[in-house]
Structure 1
């Protein structure tokens, strides 16, 4: 009866010091009355759970006599168990207080049997809980081992299986933890941690001697224990399902691991085999090393001799090709010069008839022989109508006859123009070398091209009309020393029109076209349709002698002649165009608008 009892703090679960009455965990101080009350509750619980007394038949008889009203039997029983006189007196006083409300008949054996049954069930569950804790700890260690394996380089399929295994093991731990929590709840509800309300009811029942209420409470706790046992069984079933799934996964993982081991063994075997072959090759290399070095030196000398011979052959071929190129250029130059000499009579006829050929035979027929000398003609049409090819053919026709050509470029470089002219006149570069082609380039520098070619006059801006006029005048002065007339092509007048207003444009064109007419030159001016208004076109036409207009309709190209000279037809005439020239259709069957 004088056994030392640890009194638990209901606030934090810590132990209350018996002398200072202060909780060792949270520091809360209790009064002596509160401490004794908590101590009595713990003694009562221990008695209810069967931990304090081990009753025998003689003890049950004594308790049964006391419950029937024999108080002296109880006090004798206490003295027999070693209680002091003061403790006996204290119990006597409490018995007197509860005496009035004690029922007459109480089944002490049933009460004790229920208590022992409950204690046995709890002992079993505590044992199971310890086993579960050990299993959970084992699973945690296995998961840590698997996570360490995941850090190693593994094939993708084995890595996925490892991840799945970790997930299942973590799920098992969660279920085991849930089971443990249920056990702890069971322990809490049925052993020590009764709610305040239930504890008060239990204390009142004992204080008042209400054994029936105490028995009902024990029955209720037993039912709750059965419910908890049912929940634990469900958890066990769920854990078993997870364990079966884990077992299947482990079998699959073991198969993959075995396969990986076989692969590693195969790779190891191959590696050893390769190492042996390398050693063998090194030995062979050492044996024939000196011989190989001699062979390689001879081979190198042979290759060097062959390279020298190939270089000499290549130089000979280059010299031969260079000579052939010079011969071809000479022949082309001779052909060009011969062509110019043969065409001298045609130039005299043109000057006599005051008509120059256009380079397009059917257009010459339409114009009754060609463009009149001293004409300024507008070539007007939309993009992709091949109106530029008409201008190229016109310039090429003059060069074949030795008539100089002046190009004014505002929207194309000299190199690009040369590439397009070669389609119309393959020997175009020979005529450049003969000094029959002159360029005024107002485009290249405006796009940042700083390279320059000999014989080209470069202007800084596309709209430098004063520079254009001065450059053309200087070129014309040179041409007049050798030729009686020249041909001029302006590509494109649309660029100038875009930069200048109507008055400034008129101030440029009137003197420029007048000078060309005075020089008996034939000048063509390209203008893009769609970029300018009708008034602008009419104003430019005021300075011209006529216009050849192009249009595209139903994917076909047509042209018509305005002014210039007498023509066979001013109807729209279908045109077939390519990079090398244009061909006109019938004048009478052509499309008429």
Structure 2
């Protein structure tokens, strides 16, 4: 009887927490940015692609996306295919100075798909919340790790999580179209079933336009980046109601993306 009552209290707590979160997201101040909905995770259950050429701010976008969630107490699952978790810690520091403290609370789950040896400098906490797979193209291993961590988050009484994938291109570059499609659909299904949010970096130069379009169809939306006359522009596809779908100029620093007069550091 006591256990039944405790379960009911936890369910009520999760429902009220989710309600407060959604109400808070609806009250967010309007920002003239096509990517606002993605970075505030306003649409739970969504998987969004961030498509752009190298050094166009994709990684900073994913780190900012994760950091904003951690500030609000939302757990993160980070898949990294080219850089070790220890290296990414340095990139998180300017965006979220308290990242290490938050990471020690167990809110950050790492999936290391770099295929390299574990770095000696990694903290004990990282190793505790880390699953290492054979490499970036170990699609079954990556999917299994995501499913495990999503279940861990659920058991921890958190209503949802944020998933950051850097980068999806490295994982599917040498996979067949059918295999890659099934992999992406499986991850998107986990995100959707957990009412969570995922942001996936995709390298524009590694895929044909037809391949990119096919991948976008498997997602709930996409943020596309283009370079023109030494300027960088961003546009949104899908996701939901946004203020504009035009190309908007932006730039990025090691602290986040700056779109027009607004910085994504300020978006809550």
Whether TM-score is above 0.5 comes out as yes
Q: Distance in 1 between matches of 2:241 and 2:185?
A: 24
1:581 aligned residue (235, 256, 261): 256
Q: 1:544 to 1:578 in 2, by over 3 A?
A: same
Q: 1:538 deviation in Å?
A: 1.5
State how 1:541-556 maps to structure 2 within 5 Å. 541-556=216-231
State how 1:48-59 maps to structure 2 within 5 Å. none
SS in 2 for 1:480: helix
SS in 1 for 2:171: helix
Using the TM superposition, name which of 523-532 and 457-466 deviates more.
457-466
CA contact 2:248–2:259 (8 Å) conserved in 1: yes
Q: Distance in 2 between matches of 1:528 and 1:356?
A: 34
Q: How many residues align?
A: 239
CA contact 2:74–2:158 (8 Å) conserved in 1: yes
2:70 aligned residue (399, 403, 419): 399
1:418 aligned residue (89, 93, 96): 89
Q: 1:367 to 1:509 in 2, by over 3 A?
A: closer
CA contact 2:235–2:248 (8 Å) conserved in 1: yes
Q: 1:364 to 1:502 in 2, by over 3 A?
A: closer
Which residue in 1 is equivalent to 2:116?
A: 447
Whether 1:503 aligns to 2:178 is yes
CA contact 1:371–1:565 (8 Å) conserved in 2: no
Which residue in 1 is equivalent to 2:5?
A: none
Which residue in 1 is equivalent to 2:144?
A: 470
SS in 1 for 2:211: helix
Whether 1:540 aligns to 2:197 is no
Higher helix share: 1
CA contact 1:363–1:370 (8 Å) conserved in 2: no
Is there any run of 5+ residues in structure 1 with no aligned partner, and where?
1-344, 588-593
CA contact 1:410–1:462 (8 Å) conserved in 2: yes
Which residue in 2 is equivalent to 1:87?
A: none
Q: Distance in 1 between matches of 2:36 and 2:75?
A: 25
Scaled by the length of structure 1, what TM-score is found? 0.38
Whether 1:494 aligns to 2:172 is no
Scaled by the length of structure 2, what TM-score is found? 0.81
Q: Distance in 1 between matches of 2:153 and 2:182?
A: 25
| CA displacement, residues 370-424 of structure 1 (integer Å, 9 cap, x when unaligned) | 5411110000011121122221111111101110000011111101111001110
Identify the structure with bigger relative contact order (alpha carbons < 8 Å, sequence gap 6+). Answer: 2
Larger radius of gyration: 1
1:528 aligned residue (188, 198, 203): 203
CA contact 2:43–2:197 (8 Å) conserved in 1: yes
Q: 1:566 deviation in Å?
A: 1.2
CA contact 1:396–1:424 (8 Å) conserved in 2: yes
CA contact 1:355–1:372 (8 Å) conserved in 2: no
Which residue in 1 is equivalent to 2:158?
A: 483
| CA displacement, residues 188-234 of structure 1 (integer Å, 9 cap, x when unaligned) | xxxxxxxxxxxxxxxxxxxxxxxxxxxxxxxxxxxxxxxxxxxxxxx
Q: 1:517 deviation in Å?
A: 0.6
Is there any run of 5+ residues in structure 2 with no aligned partner, and where?
1-15, 263-268
Whether 1:456 aligns to 2:125 is no
Which residue in 2 is equivalent to 1:131?
A: none
Higher strand share: 2
Q: 1:351 deviation in Å?
A: 3.1
Q: 1:447 deviation in Å?
A: 3.4
Superposition CA RMSD, Å: 2.7
